[in-house]
Each structure stands twice: as C-alpha cells, then as structure tokens.
Structure 1
Amino acid sequence: MWDEAPDGRRQLITTGYLKASHRELDERSGEGDPYHPHTRAVPVEPGMIEEYVLRLYPFAATFLLGHKLIAELSCDEPLADAHNAMLPPDAFHLPVGRPVTHKVYRDARHPSRLVLPHTA
C-alpha cells in the first residue's frame, strides 16, 4: 500500500504477502485478520476463480488532503529492495520462475474488497 501525493511522489506504508498455494484459512481467521496455517499446499488451477485473503502488516498513517491510497498487486517480490527492512523474516517465498497473469474479479458474484481499520 502506498500513500501517493498530488505530485505523484509515493511513500510505502505497508505490505502483505500470500503464496497462492497456501491460501487456505482456518477457524482462527477473522475479518481483516486472516490466519493461514501453512500446513499443506493446494495447487492453483488455471482458469478457476479463487478467493485470496491476505493480511496487511499493521501500520499507522495520516493521509493528507489530496493524497491517494494505492493498492499495488504483484505476483512476485524482489529479493533486494529498499523497503525490505520493513518485512518480517517469513515474508519471502521462492518465486516459481515463470511468467504468470492474475485477473482480479470485481462484480456482483465476486465482491473484491480491501478492509482497513481507521479512526476519524
């Protein structure tokens, strides 16, 4: 997640990661606080629509007038990055090494959403 200023400058405010084959949730999950047990890998079947629930690492930020909250999705994370110091040691996964395409569905049958805690 990025805070984007009106002049286009961006500041990273939080991240979240999920290996798609480890999308399984268990009963410890709650709204905005998913729990992935990582006890088994469930292969991703090409062409199937799946729900992926991932936790964003907690953050605190004040968004100034005119700024935007930007959600950026990718299917790989860099091995060396200026922002990696923010990440816990378990945040990295081995990439598959081949190009993939992800399609995000957002319609009546697939209500994509972003759940963020906030205070006024």
Structure 2
Amino acid sequence: MKNIEDYGFDRSDLIIATAVNSYLKNLTPEARRKALAGIVRQEGVETVVNGSALATLIESAKAAAMIGSQDWEDGDDLFAKRTLEYIRDQLPALDGKEYMKNPPKEFLRFIEDWAKQ
C-alpha cells in the first residue's frame, strides 16, 4: 500500500484519511478484513464501494481519533498543534454521510487499496 501522502489529499481529506488509516491499523487483521468486506467488493471488473458502510467506518474512525486525542498534550511541534486543533475543533463537525455524498476519488482509491491488503 502507498504512503498516505502519496494519494494527493487536500488538508481536510488528509486528516480524515489519517483518522481512517489509524483506525484500520489498530483493528485486528480479521476485524479489518470483515469491516472492509462490507465496504468494497468486486463486481466483475468494477469495484463497488458501499457509501453507507464507508460513512459508518468514517464515524468510527472519527470517534476513535477524538477519544485518542484526549491524551495528547500540546507541544512545540506546529504540525502536531494544528492536527490536534483540527481533531478537537473540526473533526467533531464532520459527518460521514455528508462526506460520502461527494467523496474525493483519492479517498475511494485509498479505501480500495486498504481492501486489497
């Protein structure tokens, strides 16, 4: 799988993809396969993404990121500060269903790559 930076996400999509990436990495391999099997499937040569199931995954990743960020401390690293500010201020307002109404193709490719693992 490519590095998350290689997908060309804009800033807000990168934060969402990072939350999903972290969430998936922390699942057991069996739980990850099960979660992704309900999201991505092959129909012939076409890859089909279940937007509703992916929205639920985004919501789970969002919740995990917000819970995990409670233990973070503000430091001197500007990127870490901005990430923490975004997680605390912007991520709670993100709605997985709304995000999936017009998901960026980079995000869908990222999820498809996860499903291929």
Give me the TM-score of the superposition, normalised by structure 2: 0.30
Q: Which has the higher contact order (CA 8 A, sep 6+)?
A: 2
Q: Whose radius of gyration is greater, 1 or 2?
A: 1
Superposition TM-score, scaled by structure 1 size: 0.30
